[in-house]
A and B are shown apart, each in its own frame.
Chain A
Amino acid sequence: MGALLAFRFALVFFVFSVLSLTATSSSVSPQDLQIVSAERRIDLTSHIARVFLTLKVENTGASPASEVLLAFPPTQVKHLALVKAAATVGKRKKKSYVPLDVSPKVLPDAPNEAQFLSISLRNPLKNGETVLLEVLLVLTHGLEPFPAEIGQSESQLVYYHDSAIILSPYLIKEQTTYIKTPSNKVESLTRVEPTNRVGTEIKYGRYDDRHPYSYAPIIVHFENNSPFAVVEELVREVEVSHWGSLQVREHYTLVHAGAKHKGIFSRVEFQSRPGFSGVSSFKNLLARLPPRVHSVYYRDEIGNISTSRLRTDSLKSELEIEPRYPLFGGWKATFVIGYGLPLQDFLFESSDGKRYLNFSFGCPLAETVVDKLTIKVVLPEGSKNPNAVVPFVVKQHLETMYSYLDVVGRTVVVLEKENVVPEHNSPFQVYYDFNPIFMLAEPLMLTSAFFLFFVACVAYLHIDLSIRKS
């Protein structure tokens, strides 16, 4: 027994030391990697900038490399909402993607405070081998409106700042960058030859043999009238009732984050020339809700908002909502959307007897950025040991909430995340223990209350409380 334990300990120690060795070796020699070819496509058609990077990485050093670093200027890092990386396996028709882990990394000697993310490879890259990486970067608040204030009839122009050359700690042999704009109205763009523009696409490159940390800042000034819908704060409350329903309440603070509205708002212009006046404003939003949704409401602090439409089919439900007034730059609207869902679609029992709720993270509104998302999963009274499984890093804590007829209160699992984009709409799970006997607590309470009431009535009718005999 003791020998076995010692052996196990030795094994753990060995594995650990090997791991730390490989980690140090790869961080010491980033120069051993080089990028054979890089292609970058930046999609700026909405207010969320999406960057698709295709990198072909080769290891020229002697030691095998297990991670590839991506470098970002510090201004871009804070806009970075999501990074997804995948390695391409196979060729042509047999092509498939293997998702890879991405984690932030700090290098002490990085020039100009460049920040890094490291992509961990599944199999360490040996000398002379190449790997094809696909990286998706989603940037929010990356488009800066200029002019910052516009009138009702003007359209919205924005700046996009980036570098024509991909910032990288590695040598890049050849690279090209394509920027896609929503329309072909581009006011100006920084030229880093060769640069050319065809229709809605701007092409930077091909640039050959750029050294590590090469940087060529560019500014693209173009028209973007897509709705700059930003939810400053979203609180989603998901209330689980084991009587068969899931109640969802979503509190939104919506703002138009584009160029601020300046001067007058003329209803005549807005009504009579809809294609011309107020092009950067938006009137309605689309919320994609799960199928079989019921009792949907849409209201705010002062009552119901009557301008909404719900379309349901077996696969999805779409709720089209209109705020009380069209949103111009800088205007705000707060509202609440609530709906009920059948419980069997979302609550399951795992093999170890625990129950788990499987619900989608993220904001149901299409093409919106959520600056601060709070999800509160209200578990039924009497549930124990909750733990949440979320595919990305979130802040978690527990709360207690009192709802109808609660005595001890319900456990609430609170998940918080900042800078959430539609790509975050992936399911998460909350596991908890629940004894079904607790379901009977509230009906029993009500029954006994009524019973006591009637007993009191009967008692009152049979007791003579008068002092005097009449």
Chain B
Amino acid sequence: MGGKTESLNGVKSGSTQTSMGTAQIGLKPDLFNFSLKSLKLKTKQQELLIRVSVLGLIYILAFITRLFSVLRYESMIHEFDPYFNYRTTVFLTEKGFYEFWNWFDSESWYPLGRIIGGTLYPGLMVTAAFIYWVLRFLRFAVHIREVCVLTAPFFASNTTLVAYLFGKEIWDSGAGLVAAALIAICPGYISRSVAGSYDNEGVAIFALLLTFYLFVKAVNTGSLAWALASAFGYFYMVSAWGGYVFIINLIPLYVLVLLITGRYSMRLYVAYNCMYVLGMLLAMQIRFVGFQHVQSGEHMAAMGVFFLMQVFYFLDWVKHLLSDKKLFQAFLRITVTCAIGVGALALGVGMASGYISPWTGRFYSLLDPTYAKDHIPIIASVSEHQPTAWSSFMFDFQILLFLFPAGLYFCFKRLSDATIFVVMYGLTSMYFAGVMVRLILVATPAVCLISAIAVSATIKNLTSLLRTKHKVPHGASAKGTTSAKASSKASLDQSLPFQRNGAIALLLGAFYLLSRYAIHCTWVTSEAYSSPSIVLAARGAHGGRVIFDDYREAYFWLRQNTPSDAKVMSWWDYGYQITAMGNRTVIVDNNTWNNTHIATVGRAMSSYEDEAYEIMRSLDVDYVLVVFGGVSGYSSDDINKFLWMVRIGGGVFPVIKEPDYLVNGEYRVDKGAAPKMLNCLMYKLCYYRFGELMTEYGKPPGYDRARGVEIGNKDVKLQYLEEAFTTSNWIVRIYKVKPPNNRW
């Protein structure tokens, strides 16, 4: 907008200048004045140019800083969930949207299967497929994998634009630029958006910030168009990630706070009603979400606030009509009690009749961090669901952690509807970030925005101090018009000695901090967040890079050398990868929708071989896959995850008891381990024939390098299974379940 008016002005002034030139001028001062004016316009244009080019550079920076993994390893999909997303995207591009929507996947959750269309957020896949189709239409012969790998960085770049607009909306364009720069390289966001991490969050953070920005814009302008846009932003967010629940609870909370603080306005009414009603209707189009907006306890806050708004509006109207203040007070009392009563009654009836479902376990575990540990081990077992440690806050935010409170101070100093929103977003998301590691992601945009306000405001203040100091002698000598202003400033300056030097020192300090931040972010991105986790790299004895590509070795072996209808049993972590890369049916996978099924697998893994054989026969298992790090020293293997299998298995089948696998509350695999531990299926499969192997020089055979002990049961005999394949570094071991013995 700004650019447009400016350039128009420029054109106008240019044309006037030419007319002046032709009309033989006699007044020199006029011309002088004019050229000054055009110069001023030029600086404005320069400012625009600088702004646009800085934004362009940030856009590119956000993209390329996420490419470490592509350069270090290759263009590949990372980790676990992205493999499912990739597989579904490939399906979508091959078979089309209709088939995708009705896809019943028989390759996972054998024998139950999974209705893919109804149990996933399609936003990411549709986005990637759309980009793919557009590129194909423009005759760019790209592979769908490349599109998937680069989707997250692309959306991260887009997020910087939204952050700029958002910062501009809540503070000024300077803060917007700083916010864009901060979020472009913030490790908290990069952790989920490096190239290859093709997960919902990559798109969802963009959608989240976009929705918030559009909503704040709608509140600020009261425009129906912006509210409509924010409803569509919300729809995109709902289609992309389950985290939309955060939006549908934060926005009502914000509206409630505005109502309480007496900031109710027509703008707010328009923005919220339009956004809520349309957003809700649109969100219902996503099959996985369905009627949850009217039926689930998690969405009730939004509905309550919606009705409250109507009551508020009604009261406002009545107040406008009734001139009598006393009468209105009485009316207010009656209406409010009635409204609250009706609302509570409706909620109670809904809850009691089961029409409104209670809160889910995941939601509870957010409100009460200890809930999952006691009630839902499957949620607690995921490392990214753990409460956040201070170190990871420091790791992901670095100086933003200190700038955040400073930014809050500035926000409170210049309180407006927009700053209230960003403060609330910051505080609530910070709380959630403390509850769960992965929710640092949600807090990151807020932290970046608020910190950007702090940085921008501070630097602006400091530079204005510097400038006035410069201008004072100039202005005093050259022009008399500004002398009054200058003298006032000068008097202010005199009250603080060494102000200029102090400002310079502080500015230098700020630049030092910001450059440290940039260095830290780059270091974290390259060292911590750019590993695909499917290919492991280590330093060899001679300093060269050693690659452990065992996962793909095993998956590719499964893909090529087992019958195409083979069923593979493994712990659920590897389910998505086995179906995507191995192309084989799995019993359980990372979509942990059926706890009993997972518990059955956990039970099989923690039982003796003959009991496990019964379970495997009943599940029609052909192959068992375990991940074992004893040879390579890879510590996140199945033996270290084993206690969770016991816990989850024991949660459903009380036969499995955790203390049976522990010795004095201690988990060990050496000679002192519990007898049940030494003979359970998982132990046997991991350590089969491991006792013959010398893993490290100077250590006895059967020395487990991941745990640093000599194993307790070196003579593992298998009766019902046989080794089918072991990868070159022993990280993945696959066993074949033997057919039952012939009775004759």
Interface residues of A in 280-320 (CB under 8 A from B): 300-307
Cβ contact within 8 Å between B723 and A303: no
The answer to whether A302 and B555 have CB atoms under 8 Å apart is: yes
Roughly how many angstroms separate A266 CA and B688 CA in the complex, as a whole number? Answer: 10
Asked if A265 and B724 sit within 8 Å, CB to CB, the answer is yes
- In residues 248-272 of chain A, which contact B (Cβ within 8 Å)? 263-268, 272
Contact of B547 among A306, A404, A405, A464 (CB under 8 A): A306
Given contacts A334-B560, A403-B141, A404-B140, whether A267 and B552 have CB atoms under 8 Å apart is no
* With contact pairs A331-B560, A404-B141 given, residues A461 and B726 touching in the complex (Cβ less than 8 Å): no
- 17 A–B contacts, CB within 8 A, in A order: A265-B724, A266-B726, A267-B723, A268-B689, A272-B692, A272-B693, A302-B556, A303-B76, A307-B549, A324-B549, A324-B557, A325-B553, A330-B561, A332-B561, A404-B140, A461-B7, A462-B11
B392 to nearest A CB, angstroms? 29
Q: Are A404 and B722 in contact, CB atoms less than 8 angstroms apart?
A: no
**Chain B residues in 8 Å Cβ range of A187:** none
Instruction: Specify which chain B residues have a CB less than 8 angstroms from the CB of A267 in the assembled complex.
Output: 723, 726-728, 730
Q: How many A-B residue pairs have CB under 8 A?
A: 78
* Chain B window 677-713, contacts with chain A (Cβ cutoff 8 Å), 1 for yes, 0 for no: 0000000000001001100000000000000000000
Bound-complex Cα distance A426 to B369 (A):
71
1/0 per position for B73-90, CB-CB distance to A under 8 A?
110100000000000000
Bound-state CA distance A404–B552 (Å) is 30
- Complex contact B141–A402 (CB within 8 A): yes
Interface of B (DSSP majority class): mixed
The answer to the question of A406 belonging to the interface, with a C-beta cut-off of 8 Å to chain B, is yes
Of all A-B residue pairs in the complex, the 6 with the closest CB atoms, nearest first, are A267-B726, A332-B560, A304-B74, A324-B553, A302-B581, A264-B723
Q: Would you give the shortest CB distance from B311 to chain A, in whole angstroms?
A: 35
Asked whether A268 lies within 8 Å of B692 as measured between CB atoms, the reply is: yes
Q: B residues 213-272 with Cβ under 8 Å of A?
A: none
Chain B: CB-nearest residue to A331:
B561
Q: With A263-B722, A461-B7 in contact, do A406 and B560 touch (Cβ < 8 Å)?
A: no
Contact partners of B11 in chain A: CB under 8 A: 462
B689 touches A266 (CB 8 A): yes
The chain A residue sitting closest to B724, CB to CB, is: A265
Q: For the complex, is A333 an interface residue (Cβ under 8 Å from B)?
A: yes
**Residues in chain A near residue B555, CB distance under 8 A:** 302
Which of B4, B581, B689, B725 has a CB less than 8 Å from the CB of A325? B725
> With A and B bound together, what is the CA distance between A439 and B46 in angstroms?
40
Main SS at interface, chain A:
loop
Known: A324-B556, A404-B141. 18 other contacts (CB 8 A): A264-B723, A264-B724, A265-B726, A267-B726, A267-B727, A272-B692, A302-B556, A304-B73, A304-B74, A306-B535, A325-B725, A325-B727, A330-B561, A331-B561, A333-B556, A461-B7, A462-B7, A464-B8
Which residue on B lies nearest to A304, using beta carbons?
Answer: B74
For A305, the chain B residues whose CB sits under 8 A away are: 549
Flag whether B348 is at the interface (Cβ < 8 A): no
Q: A426 CB to closest chain B CB, in angstroms?
A: 32
Total interface residues on B, CB under 8 Å, equals 34
Q: Which residue of B lies closest to A405 (CB)?
A: B139
How near does chain B come to A298, taking the closest CB pair, in angstroms?
A: 11
Q: Whose C-beta in chain A lies nearest to the C-beta of B7?
A: A461
Q: With A and B bound together, what is the CA distance between A268 and B561 in angstroms?
A: 20
Contact A461 B4 (CB under 8 A): yes
Contacting residue for A266 out of B547, B552, B581, B723, CB 8 A = B723
Q: How far is the CA of A407 from the CA of B138 in the complex (A)?
A: 10
Q: How far is the CA of A307 from the CA of B535 in the complex (A)?
A: 13
Given A306-B547, A404-B139, A404-B140, verify A325-B724 contact (CB < 8 Å). no
Smallest beta-carbon distance A85→chain B, Å: 40
- B window 1-55: CB within 8 A of A: 3-4, 7-8, 11
Q: Establish whether residues A333 and B560, one from each chain, have CB atoms under 8 Å apart when the complex forms.
A: yes
Residues 536 to 580 of chain B near chain A (Cβ within 8 Å): 547, 549, 552-553, 555-557, 559-561
Q: In the assembly, what is the distance between CA of A263 and CA of B722, in Å?
A: 8
Q: How far is the CA of A302 from the CA of B556 in the complex (A)?
A: 8
Q: Are A300 and B556 in contact (CB under 8 A)?
A: yes
Nearest-Cβ distance from residue A332 to partner chain B, whole angstroms: 4
How distant is A436 from chain B, measured CB to nearest CB, in Å? Answer: 21
Min Cβ gap A245→B in Å is 16
Please, how many residues of chain A have a CB less than 8 angstroms from a CB on the other chain?
A: 31
Q: Identify which of B140, B552, B724 contacts A324 (C-beta below 8 A).
A: B552
Residue interface bits A326-339, CB-to-B below 8 A is 1, else 0: 00001111100000
Taking a contact as CB atoms under 8 Å apart, the answer to whether A402 and B139 are in contact is yes
A304 B560 Cβ-Cβ under 8 A:
no
State in angstroms the CA–CA spacing of A109 and B565 once bound together: 50
Please indicate the chain A residues that have their CB under 8 angstroms from the CB of B560 in the complex. 331-334
Interface residue ranges of B154-180 to A (CB < 8 Å):
none
Question: A324 CA to B553 CA in the complex, in Å?
Answer: 5
- Give the CA-CA distance A462 to B553 in the complex, in Å: 59
Contact check: which of A272, A304, A307, A325 meets B557 at CB < 8 Å? Answer: A325
Taking the closest CB of chain A, its distance from the CB of B363, in whole angstroms, is 36
Contact A406 B556 (CB under 8 A): no
Chain A CB count within 10 A is highest, among B3, B7, B725, for B725
**Which residues of the partner chain B approach A334 to less than 8 Å between Cβ atoms?**
560
> Cβ of A304 and Cβ of B139 under 8 Å apart?
no
Which residues of the other chain, A, contact B727 by a CB distance below 8 angstroms? Answer: 267, 325
Q: Chain A: which residue is nearest B582 at the CB level?
A: A302
Residue in B8, B74, B722 whose beta carbon sits within 8 Å of that of A264 in the complex: B722
Q: Closest CB of chain B to A455's CB: distance in Å?
A: 15
On chain B, the residues within 8 Å of A302 by CB distance are 552, 555-556, 559, 581
Question: Which A residues are in CB contact (< 8 Å) with B722?
Answer: 263-264
- Nearest residue (CB) in B for A401 is B141
Whole-angstrom distance between the alpha carbons of A267 and B733 in the complex?
A: 10
A303 contacts B726, C-beta separation under 8 Å: no
Asked whether, in the complex, the Cβ of B556 is within 8 Å of the Cβ of A325, the reply is yes
**Chain A residue with minimal CB distance to B692?**
A268
Give Cα distance in the complex from A303 to B580, angstroms: 12
Please give me the residue from chain B that is nearest to A307 by CB atom.
Answer: B549
Within 8 A of A (CB), among B710-737: 722-728, 730
Query: In whole angstroms, how far apart are the Cα atoms of A303 and B78 in the complex?
Result: 11
Chain B's closest residue to A300 (CB) is B556
**C-alpha spacing A260/B391, complex, angstroms:** 55
Query: In this complex, what residue of A is CB-closest to B718?
Result: A264
CA distance A301 to B561 in the complex (A): 15
A residues 375-430 with Cβ under 8 Å of B?
A: 402-407
> Shortest beta-carbon distance, B737 to chain A, in Å?
13
Collect the chain A residues with CB atoms within 8 Å of residue B723's CB. Answer: 264-267
Residue numbers in A under 8 Å from B724 (CB-CB): 264-265
What's the Cα separation between A332 and B693 when bound, in Å?
Answer: 28
Binary CB contact string for chain B from 404 to 438 against chain A (1 if under 8 A, 0 otherwise): 00000000000000000000000000000000000
Query: CA separation between A407 and B139, bound complex, in Å?
Result: 8
Shortest beta-carbon distance, B398 to chain A, in Å?
33
The chain B residue sitting closest to A449, CB to CB, is B138
Hey, which chain A residues are within 8 Å of B552, CB to CB? 302-303, 324
Q: Determine whether the beta carbon of A268 is less than 8 Å from that of B693.
A: yes
Residues of B within 8 A of A325 (CB): 553, 556-557, 725, 727-728
Using CB atoms, name the residue of chain A closest to B553.
Answer: A324
In the bound complex, CA of A304 to CA of B77 (Å): 12
Most A C-beta atoms less than 10 A away, residue of B11, B139, B693, B727: B139
Give Cα distance in the complex from A264 to B735, angstroms.
9
In the bound assembly, the distance between CA atoms of A406 and B535 in angstroms comes to: 36
Chain A residue at minimal CB-CB distance from B139: A405
Name the A residues within 8 Å of B547 (CB-CB).
Answer: 306
Q: In chain A, what residue has the closest Cβ to B726?
A: A267
Q: How far is the CA of A301 from the CA of B3 in the complex (A)?
A: 48
Cα distance, A285 to B692, chains bound together (Å): 30
Contact B726 A406 (CB under 8 A): no
Contacts of B561 in A (CB 8 A): 330-332
With the chains together, A156 CA to B722 CA distance in Å? 22
* Assembled-state Cα–Cα distance A61/B73 (Å): 74
Q: Are B549 and A306 in contact (CB-based, < 8 A)?
A: yes
CB distance from B702 to the nearest CB of A (A): 11
